[in-house]
Chains A and B, each alone.
Chain A
Amino acid sequence: MSEIFLTYGTGSRPKLNARVIALRDPIAVTEAHLQEVLKYSKALNLDATEFVETIRRRQVDGQRLSPEERDILVRFNSLLNLRHEEQVGLSKRFDGEAWRPEMYAHIRDHLKGVSKSVDAIRSTGEQSYYAGICEAVPTLDDRLIAMTVEEFEFLKANTARNIGDIKVPLDGPYMLAIMTLDRYFTDTLREKYGDAPSRLKYEAKRALTLAFAEKVVKPQVETLAKAGVRWIQLDEPAATNDIEHIAIVVDGINAVVQGIEGVKFSIHTCYPNRMPFIDKKGYALLFPHIFGLDSKVNHLSLELANGDKYEEDLAPLAQHKSQREFELGVGVTDIRPQPYAPVYNVGELAELVKSRLLRAANVMGDTKGLYASHDCGLRRVPLEYSFRMDEALVKGAELARRG
């Protein structure tokens, strides 16, 4: 395969309805949900018997799933996503985060020193999430570390392709800090920063981010590196939410990757602040801070299709290329659900992918180091459409290679 416009998914994918519902209540799983599983399994040449039988058995006796049975469902979902990514031809693959309930909750629920908020907190429109409340220096429990290895070993054992092509996404330290409500560090530092409230906020956020970097993210990275992972994507969707804190994002990432060898690191960021009320905006806000990123971090995965302003959004990356050049994961599909983003058929979307990749190449002056990716995880679109989006991504990249 040509090395230009390689393709990858960014992170999550919707979970099988049957799996989600069965984990709550097997009786609520309908025949239509099971047929959906059988349909995808057939298309991917997978045997879903154990998955379906597990649910049916519990529907008969009315019992909840045991931990072992839950595991059967989760592993099947993971395998299904992996097979799909292999079959559709993505260059770099994962399993749509099938093992993880949700990217932040997955970590939050395994933290010591952080409790789960009583109420869900609104994030976008009517969408909400349960924040963590930091009451002490956060550390990770052993179960999460074991699960991180288990997840990768499962993919390694089941991939039909090169394990070097598996890209593992992890929550970045600043993302964890921004989704967590701090109590501990603010209280600890309050006296020191007395009548300098802005400084207190900055230092508390920095301390929380570095604690997540060193005590939570780095242990996962070290474990994965030992297990043989060759590419880790650190998710920092909120890198530019607070423009005064971008230096903290960089410090957090550097603390994670320092001393780790043999692993390629990328950062995924999205929805940059496009209205920050200063003379630069969007990804330009990352500069000059990202000049200070550890050289092992040589790839940025960017949301670009949402705004569809490739020329404007990529201009700062092109402008600073001589000082620091990054490979780019060019977001070429808008991952927002209807009515925010239109739905395309594969052919239409592939054409759009092609034109967006060529626009990106035009701005950057080269196709070298450009990957085709989705804007972000696909969790918010229907599963069927997420599969079509991958297909369009691969076809569109191929069209772009032909020019």
Chain B
Amino acid sequence: MILRWFILKFGAYLTGAFGQSDALFIARNELSRRGETASTEERRSLAEAVDRQILADTKAVIEAQQTAGLSYVSDPMSKWFSIFHPLTQGVRNVREGPQNPWAKNLFYNWPIIDSPLNQEDVGFTEKFVHLDLLPTGRAAVILPSPYTVLMASDVKGYQDQRSALRDITQLLYNEARDLVKKGVARIQYDEPVIAMKQSRGSLEEADILLLQQAMQYCGKIEGATTSLHTYFGDVGAIIPALRDIPVDCIGVDGTSTSMKDIIAHRWDGKELAVGFLDSQSASMENPDGLADKIKMIMDGATPSRLFLTPNTSTEYLGFTLAMQKLEVLKRAMERLRQHE
């Protein structure tokens, strides 16, 4: 059965933190509301209730992904507050900076890198995901792309961007290798900044070079496949540059980038993931329409494999709507597999 996942030309997977459950919100709210005045014993009990709920939600989301037949299965990441959170919590010399908008009504704290990174700080992601619950051979973990970390951080501890990028890349490469040793089959590097800069007209050749430089080093991880997942912007105009980046798969935000631009390029020898499911809209996509689009891309762009995905995290929707999006993904895949 496992072999079958690798021979299918169409696939699907989730690309970020999953919508959180109301039960988790209530448990966290109780801890926050009563925690300050509670006794040590009560506080421990409230904190344990939060942990229990995170575990229950994680199991439910992992099971739902497996039932849906997704190509890769990821942790819902109920413990993290942003793609940078594991870095700021687990890597020395990196701390949380001011609060800033991320998308919609979601905020994050940008990382501040005070001084050179210590390359021994490996294993910072593990605390935020349940590796032991992910299925062998299909476990996917998300790391921020080195270029996005560089651009979205306040870097104080380096004299120039290149030396900072070199160390960030090395750190993320070490982390990816460590995750693969622990059974992870797919590393997804999240790359929103390149898409935002392209969409906003501020992307320069130098940015592409920095991204390429980083991915040359950490784009290939022995024992796993890798994806550079772009979102929050229209990358139509830079598809040729993205296609040349040495990763197995490129993720494109299909809620910002047009079909025409995706199909205008040949993706031979490269995997392509298209985020057609809008993770910030309660509108449910039509599975038949999605299947048609995916077939058109396969015919026109001929990637080695083609994945249907949400454009990014479904946490903007909450658990119930995120589950509905997962159901849409599943039904679209069923249509596609009828044609394989």
Residues of chain A touching chain B, judged by Cβ–Cβ distance below 8 Å, are 117-126, 128-129, 131, 133-134, 178-179, 181-183, 186-187, 190, 195-198, 201, 204, 238, 240-244, 271-279, 306-307, 336, 340
Given A243-B200, A306-B98, A120 contacting B25 (CB threshold 8 A): yes
Contact A129 B193 (CB under 8 A): no
Bound complex: CA A201 to CA B233 (Å): 11
Q: Is the CB of A201 within 8 A of B256?
A: yes
* Complex contacts, A187 vs chain B, CB 8 Å: 283
Q: Are A119 and B100 in contact (CB under 8 A)?
A: no
Contact A186 B316 (CB under 8 A): no
User: B103 to A275, Cβ gap below 8 A?
Assistant: no
Given A201-B278, A204-B281, A271-B101, 4 other A-B residues pairs in contact with their CB atoms under 8 A: A123-B105, A181-B316, A272-B101, A275-B110
Q: Which residues of B contact A117 (CB under 8 A)?
A: 318, 320-321
Contact of B22 with A118 in the complex, beta carbons under 8 Å:
yes
Indicate if B106 sits at the interface (CB-CB under 8 A): yes
**Nearest chain B CB to A31 CB, angstrom units:** 14
List of 8 A-B pairs having minimum Cβ-Cβ separation, nearest first: A119-B318, A120-B25, A181-B282, A241-B101, A186-B283, A118-B320, A183-B282, A119-B22
Q: Is B254 in contact with chain A by the CB < 8 A criterion?
A: yes
Residue of A nearest to B19 (CB): A119
Given A122-B106, A271-B107: A183 touches B99 (CB 8 Å cut-off): no
Inter-subunit contact B98/A307 (CB<8 Å): yes
B173 at the interface (CB under 8 A from A): no
Beta-carbon nearest neighbor of B195 in chain A? A277
Interface centre among A181, A238, A279 (most CB of B within 10 A): A181
| Minimum Cβ distance to chain A for residue B183 (Å) | 28
Total chain B interface residues with beta-carbon distance under 8 A? 48
Judged by a CB distance under 8 angstroms, whether B45 is at the interface is: no
Tell whether B20 is near chain A: CB-to-CB under 8 Å: yes
Contact status A183-B283, CB under 8 Å: yes
A278/B202 contact (C-beta < 8 A), A133-B282, A195-B259, A197-B256 known: yes
In contact, A198 and B234 (Cβ under 8 angstroms): yes
Name the residue on A nearest B110 (C-beta). Answer: A275
Contact with A along B139-162 (1 / 0, CB 8 A): 000000000000110000000000
How many angstroms from the CA of A117 to the CA of B22 in the assembled complex?
A: 10
Chain A residues within an 8 Å CB radius of B115:
none
> What are the residues of chain A within 8 A of B254 when measuring CB–CB?
197
Knowing A126-B28, A198-B199, A277-B202 are in contact, say whether A181-B101 is a contact too (CB < 8 A): no
Contact pick for A178, options B22, B104, B201, CB 8 Å: B104
Q: How far is the CA of A243 from the CA of B196 in the complex (A)?
A: 10
A266 vs B4: C-alpha distance when bound (angstroms): 61
The smallest beta-carbon distance between A278 and chain B, in angstroms, is: 4
In angstroms, Cα B82 to Cα A126, docked, is 11
